[in-house]
Structure 1
Amino acid sequence: MESRTPFHEFDVCVVGMGYVGVTLTAALLSTGKRVLGYEANPAVAGELAQGRLVLAEPGVEDLIRDSAADGTLHVTDTVDGHRLPPVVIVCVGTPIKDGSTTPDLGHLTAATESIAAGIDDDTLVVVRSTVPVGTSRNLVLPILRTRVAEPLLAFAPERTIQGQALAELLSLPQIVGGLNENAAKLAADLFATVTDQVVPVSSLEAAELVKLVCNCHTDLIYGFGNEVALIAEKLGLDAMEVIGAANRDYPRPDIHKPGFVGGSCLTKDPYLLRHSLAGHGHVPELVGAARTLNESMPRRVGERVLAALWEAGHDPATATVLLTGFAYKGRPETDDLRGAPYEPLLELLRGRVGEIVGHDFVVPAERIAALGVRPVTIEEGFAGAHAALILNDHLGYRGLDAEELILSMAQPALVYDTWRVLPPSTNVMRLGVA
């Protein structure tokens, strides 16, 4: 993966070419910058170097393909021994460790160690990975100081919505916090070339916290909608009737409709915020309660479906169940499976039902098959199934002949329309209805 252009002659190096890194790369390319992408996974780096992108995100694939072809984008799987561009932006993942609620900052540590040898006194390093508050100062800075006495370090969080990331990168305000005034100004100047508004904050920590509180607030809003759904079910009421009446022409913040809460951020960032407060004598109770409730929703739905199968006279052990909508959300559409409700549902249903078949309007069939689920078309999935669960709100469901599909199922048919995407007249189970 050799480049004819020396690495340091690119304008920006983006470290970590996952979702955050590759969409930021596209935004930078759209402004005329030359971008060096550094992706430690050789297979991913090789695909991107050829301009190939497996990502459902409008506008991004075209920019990556065209820029790889004309040389304004070069992707490498190593930067060892190379002097880096004047700006380095770190976008690696910060997942939660398996089986715990503790963040895994190993990728961030490795990425920072990899770039440290290639920076100098004038290199601006921007952390864009979502991290616990204090990580930029306490983890990234000491590593950079092994190379430079006073690094130019800033934090600028990613805050886009999947399905329209490129448009939002070019329009939303960018938050910037710096280790010092010079670093903050350089980072602000960089992002001012991408979007019209840059919002400076006083420190690295303030910028880190902005990202976490944004996502935790969203999780809390969604959680309250789910709480209303559970309350309505217990009281024999329709949650959407209650929410709709409460919101109509009323000048207070809208109550969000119930539904699954997924994605890579909302399922992780509440734990990063809680981790930030370890040792500070405070537990963010609302943040934890919302996350616990939202995580419980897929299993609650699955348990209701299993009970309803028995009530309908179907032994779950011999039943065929269709899961449709594997991506964590349907609008804006995405193929992202991270934090999607299918995971806890598969865990619950496997071994309890006869067969699970799967469909999604965006996620390729081979990715569904890789989950151990037989991929089907939507018509094949409904035909003969004893139960069908609609897991996201993709617009594709609006055009279905729901009545005909349900008639093709084993009778009595059981359909759980989690997001209420089928016509109201359709006789199905819905979240928030007893």
Structure 2
Amino acid sequence: MNGVAVVGAGRVGLPWAAVLAHELRIDVTCIDTCADRVETINRGHAPFSEPQLQQYVSSAVEDGRLTATTDPDTVTEHEYVAVTINNRHDEDDGFLSSIEDYAQRLTDDHVFVLRSTLPVSVVGRVRERVERAADGSPAFTVFPERLAEGKAISEIETLPKVVGTDDAAGRRAMQNLLGGLDCEIEFTSPETAMFVKLIDNSYRDALFSIANQIAFVADELELDAFEAIEIANHNYDRNEIPNPGPVSGKCLPKDPHFLMDEQVCDQPRTPDLFTATRRTNARYVQRAVREVMSYRPSEVAVLGLSYKRGVADTTNSHAVAIAEQLADEGVSVSKYDPHVPDYDDVQTALQGADLVLIAVNHPEFGDIEATINEHAPGDSIVFDLWGMVDRTALDRPCQGIGRGPDPESDDVLGESWNGARKPGAIQTEK
């Protein structure tokens, strides 16, 4: 019995499996309920886009180090059994049932590795299910993922690893598994390891909510939040304020709720900051739809559909949500994303649109002004959610949440501070 069984061949499980197989030369089997995904992997193809993933999967499959299957019994053939199943908010019971199904196949010789993100209070329940169902006492470890999509491979190889285990056997096993990577390994308790993961994303979500609150206030004051944030950050080391913008995807909208679960929120002495900051970010989509609809558009071109810049993943995307809500309001919606296939090309999307919505801050939109001027109707307006459009390069009005009034003349602070160029602004990824 050797190697690693990775339960779940999604955006957490497959990149990790590919790194273990390609870089560390470890035999890895991915177990997934999707037969099409399993077949795709076994043909040496990555089922989704992620930098370097195709190369790693192809090489590892060709070398015989990486395989995939739908058979859960395969876990019995591997020393490490790593669970990367996505656990959605308020669906703990179903997740725990899946854990128990796999735990029934484990023995003293196995190392159980929990990679899924959970409320801290659920970690102990997972351990109880494993101990109750297993035929013996497998080592129990918690190794939460801390990856940014679009950087998964490089971060698996280099980011510090936080591993939770309560016994020496688990520590030795995880040191043996991860020791070949060029990164630090920080050992702590299982609960603390999960706590760290939730802190990571709750902090980031709170940081973005501060920027969005600034944008909401700027709208009321008729000021440009992007310009103000740039000036506030400029050569002032105590500030690292990101630009405003929508927050979506899998982790940031969920992990603050996991951090502030019922065990915490039931205590009246515990302030509930992270739920409040999450609520601020969650309101961004409704505010964007309301402001776009205030222009009474008949057709909107939505530029960007993914949940963040530079990726093709539309899971829980704010841009998709906005497009759907605009359609529900009776607006005709055309769509374009340079990373997402099966949508219009940008010229087609712009034709006929009386409002152009910059919904995702893709690098490809960094010089979109000339394309808009050429292909969108002359009487259209631009609504920029990210403050990335240079208003002075457009031949039409440009508005957006927190952007302030569109000036008719150069900004009084000069060209370098015109709200379109932001040399000092923090472009933190969401």
Asked whether the 8 Å contact 1:94–1:105 carries over to 2, the reply is no
Over 6 Å off, 4+ runs: none
SS in 1 for 2:323: helix
When residues 44 and 107 of structure 1 are mapped into structure 2, their CA distance, relative to the original with a 3 A threshold, is farther
| Structure 1 residues 29-108: aligned runs within 5 Å | 29=21, 30-80=23-73, 83-96=76-89, 102-107=90-95
Task: Quote the residue 1:327 is aligned against.
Answer: 306
Task: Quote the residue 1:266 is aligned against.
Answer: 252
When residues 82 and 240 of structure 1 are mapped into structure 2, their CA distance, relative to the original with a 3 A threshold, is closer
Q: Return the offset for 1:279.
A: 4.5
Q: Return the offset for 1:404.
A: 4.7
Quick check: 1:301 aligned with 2:301? no
CA deviation string 1:131-151 (max 9, x = no partner): 110323212432343224433
When residues 413 and 144 of structure 1 are mapped into structure 2, their CA distance, relative to the original with a 3 A threshold, is same
SS in 2 for 1:290: helix
User: Letter of the aligned partner of 2:36 in structure 1?
Assistant: A
Quick check: 1:187 aligned with 2:174? yes
Of 8, 17, 38, the residue aligned with 2:9 is 17
Asked whether the 8 Å contact 1:14–1:38 carries over to 2, the reply is yes
Task: Quote the residue 2:197 is aligned against.
Answer: 211
What stretches of structure 2 of length at least 5 have no aligned partner?
405-430
User: Letter of the aligned partner of 1:329 in structure 2?
Assistant: K
Quick check: 1:224 aligned with 2:207? no
State TM-score, norm by structure 1.
0.87
Quick check: 1:376 aligned with 2:355? no
Of 353, 369, 377, the residue aligned with 1:410 is 377
What stretches of structure 1 of length at least 5 have no aligned partner?
1-7, 97-101, 310-315, 366-374
Give the Cα separation in 1 of the matches to 2:340 and 2:132. 43
Give the Cα separation in 2 of the matches to 1:391 and 1:149. 52
When residues 287 and 51 of structure 1 are mapped into structure 2, their CA distance, relative to the original with a 3 A threshold, is same
Q: Return the offset for 1:321.
A: 1.1
Asked whether the 8 Å contact 1:223–1:293 carries over to 2, the reply is yes
Q: Return the offset for 1:282.
A: 5.5
Asked whether the 8 Å contact 1:382–1:406 carries over to 2, the reply is no
Task: Quote the residue 1:4 is aligned against.
Answer: none
Give the Cα separation in 1 of the matches to 2:402 and 2:312. 27
Quick check: 1:337 aligned with 2:314? yes
Task: Quote the residue 1:421 is aligned against.
Answer: 388
Task: Quote the residue 1:3 is aligned against.
Answer: none
User: Letter of the aligned partner of 2:77 in structure 1?
Assistant: L
When residues 354 and 79 of structure 1 are mapped into structure 2, their CA distance, relative to the original with a 3 A threshold, is closer
| Structure 1 residues 224-303: aligned runs within 5 Å | 224-275=210-261, 277-281=264-268, 283-303=270-290
Task: Quote the residue 1:172 is aligned against.
Answer: 159
Asked whether the 8 Å contact 1:321–1:356 carries over to 2, the reply is yes
Task: Quote the residue 1:361 is aligned against.
Answer: 338
Q: Return the offset for 1:398.
A: 1.9
User: Letter of the aligned partner of 1:271 in structure 2?
Assistant: H
State TM-score, norm by structure 2.
0.88
| Number of aligned residue pairs | 399
User: Letter of the aligned partner of 1:28 in structure 2?
Assistant: L
Give the Cα separation in 1 of the matches to 2:51 and 2:41. 16
Quick check: 1:348 aligned with 2:325? yes
SS in 2 for 1:393: coil
Stretch moving more, 345-354 or 26-35:
345-354
Quick check: 1:129 aligned with 2:100? no
When residues 81 and 225 of structure 1 are mapped into structure 2, their CA distance, relative to the original with a 3 A threshold, is closer
